[in-house]
Amino acid sequence: MSDFLVQALRYNRWANLQLLDVCSSLSDEQLELSSPGTYGTISATWLHIVGAEERYLRRLVDFQPRLEGGSFPGIAALKQHAADTGDALIAAAATVDPDGTSTARDEWAPKHWLVMVQAIHHGNDHRTHICTILGQNGIDYGGLDVWAFGDSNDGYVKC
């Protein structure tokens, strides 16, 4: 797949790890904060984000999910899972056929490009939920947009 997709996946990994760093300083009580219109608590949303990345990888490459049906393992463990799934998604972008499909587990098998785009969208969507909860509770989460990623990853050139 293209270098553009690899960069988008690198951003997804970076944003997950940045926000997990913010969440690592939260108390157990704060990890249970929620807000109307979001997925659920911060801890449940993180489990959902990282668990979904594992399931996307199962559709793309030979990857066995480790978080399925599990309880919240803590932010440190989720950060390691997010680093692993982020790396695996980036690696998969270089090897999978965009128009290929995995062995169908359902009636429909999505093409690989669809799974990759979903992984990026899903992360953005639910990280926004976490940021909403943090912001409504006065907790600073810093810059997580693509411009901040570019700042920290040599995304600019001098004109």
Q: What local confidence, expressed as pLDDT, does residue 104 receive?
A: 57
Mean pLDDT of the chain: 92
pLDDT in tens, 58-67: 999 988 888 8
What residues contact 38, with CB distance under 8 A and at least 6 apart? 45, 129, 130, 132, 133
Tokens of 45: 């949303």
Tokens of 30: 């704060």
Q: What is the pTM of this model?
A: 0.93
Q: How confident is the model at residue 109 (pLDDT cuts 50, 70, 90)?
A: confident
pLDDT reading at 122 higher than 90: yes
Beta bridge partners of 111: 101
pLDDT reading at 77 higher than 80: yes
Q: How confident is the model at residue 158 (pLDDT cuts 50, 70, 90)?
A: confident
Contacts by 38-42 with C-beta closer than 8 Å and gap 24+? 38/129, 38/130, 38/132, 38/133, 39/126, 39/129, 42/130, 42/133, 42/134
Q: How confident is the model at residue 103 (pLDDT cuts 50, 70, 90)?
A: low
Tokens of 18: 């940045």
Q: How confident is the model at residue 130 (pLDDT cuts 50, 70, 90)?
A: very high
Q: What local confidence, expressed as pLDDT, does residue 106 receive?
A: 65
Of 68-72, 129-133, 155-159, highest mean pLDDT = 129-133
Q: How far apart are CA 12 and CA 119, in angstroms?
A: 8
pLDDT reading at 153 higher than 90: no
Q: How far apart are CA 48 and CA 112, in angstroms?
A: 21
